[in-house]
Amino acid sequence: MTEFVEIFEVGPRDGLQNEARAIPVAEKIALVDQLSLCGFQRIEVASFVSPKWVPQMADGAGVLAGLRRMSGIGYWALTPNQRGLDDAQVAKADGVAVFGAASEGFSRANINATIDDSLARFRALVAHARARDLPVRGYVSCVVSCPYDGAVAPGSVARVAAALWDMGCTEISLGETLGQAFPEDVDPMLAAVRNEVPAAALAGHFHDTGGRALANIDVALAHGLRIFDGAVGGLGGCPYAPGAAGNVDTVAVAKHLSDRGYHTGLDIDKLHRAADYARSLRGQEHRP
């Protein structure tokens, strides 16, 4: 028996949120429906955020209403505040995510709050979500560096991760938002976070601007992480992280993990088809 590693697909959310073209809801639903055939346990499909901040995600309720739900798959959504949580619950999201940052500059740019104010807001939100039996991801952005503040100390990441864990998040996803980190940056960051949160509750969320996401995943595997976020077709970028490229490509992660003797339960042929469709949504050519 090979060891299972989960790839948490974030393409329909992190992948599409930065696209300039207003992607029709039917196309988003078609992408999710293709991903539902690939073997994922969880897919992040929507954000219930302010449409003034991220217009592309304004139709999250429509995506959740229209997708073909498959048993055994959780369809997740981002919820920055009480309104987002309420809307996500009405739309029947299976899990929700709060998202903070380890740097003040990104926290202000992304959610218009200081780190401490965001944590205070999330505390009430996580309690509400858990009372409604919803699992909650806590994202920490900028775990190595920040587009506004520069290098981020491992202790700052550990402090925010610990706060999210202590308030009841069921999982902490560590966002290397800029995608520029080196393995030697990721290693001390994970060592610090693991003093606060068990490795089994951690996910690695690597963007791949610098082409080192797979090397960084290897470091995370060595630290015991067994959940990695990926976006089919390598879609993505964050509207509040200028210059950052997409999430690490789900297919590349699945192959990389398979080469290292892990299994992901994913069907690579179906993933390729979903990736072709995802690329077509951004007006890119299909893979050769």
Summarize the chain as % helix, strand, coil (round to 5). Answer: 45, 20, 40
Q: Residue 77: which H helix or E strand, with range?
A: strand 74-78
Q: Name the segment binding ligand HMG (CB under 6 A); options: 31-39, 73-81, 190-198, 275-283.
A: 73-81
Q: Name the segment binding ligand HMG (CB under 6 A); options: 64-72, 104-112, 250-258, 265-273.
A: 104-112
Closest CA to 189 of 168, 208, 175: 175
Burial 225-255 (b: 16+ CB within 10 A, else e): bbbbbbbbbbbbbbbbbeebbbbbbbbebbb
- Separation between Cα atoms, residue 220 and residue 1, nearest integer Å: 21
Q: Does 250 bind ligand HMG (CB under 6 A)?
A: no
Q: 62 touches which of ligand HMG, Mg ion, none (CB within 5 to 8 A by kind)?
A: none
Exactly one of 34, 36, 56, 81 binds ligand HMG (CB under 6 A); which one?
A: 81
Considering only residues 29 through 68, tell me which ones interact with ligand HMG, judged by CB under 6 A: 47-54
- Separation between Cα atoms, residue 285 and residue 118, nearest integer Å: 40
Q: Is 238 a catalytic residue?
A: yes
Q: Does 112 bind ligand HMG (CB under 6 A)?
A: yes
CB of 29 to Mg ion, least distance (A): 22
Where helices occur in the chain by DSSP H, the ranges are 25-35, 60-66, 82-90, 104-111, 115-131, 154-166, 183-194, 213-222, 250-259, 268-281
Q: 53 touches which of Mg ion, ligand HMG, none (CB within 5 to 8 A by kind)?
A: ligand HMG
- Which residue's Cβ lies closest to ligand HMG? 175
When the beta carbons of 70 and 162 are compared against ligand HMG, the nearer one is 162
- Separation between Cα atoms, residue 283 and residue 272, nearest integer Å: 17
When the beta carbons of 88 and 274 are compared against ligand HMG, the nearer one is 88
Task: Give every CB contact of residue 59 below 8 A, 6+ residues apart in sequence.
Answer: 25, 28
Q: 138 touches which of Mg ion, ligand HMG, none (CB within 5 to 8 A by kind)?
A: none
Q: Does 14 bind Mg ion (CB under 5 A)?
A: yes
Q: Does 84 bind ligand HMG (CB under 6 A)?
A: yes
Q: How many residues bind ligand HMG (CB under 6 A)?
A: 28
CB of 8 within 8 A of CB of 228?
Answer: yes
Q: Which residues bind ligand HMG (CB under 6 A)?
A: 14, 17, 47-54, 78, 80-81, 83-84, 99, 110-112, 139, 141, 175, 177, 205, 207, 238-240
Instruction: Give catalytic residues, as residue numbers.
Output: 238
Q: Which residues bind Mg ion (CB under 5 A)?
A: 14
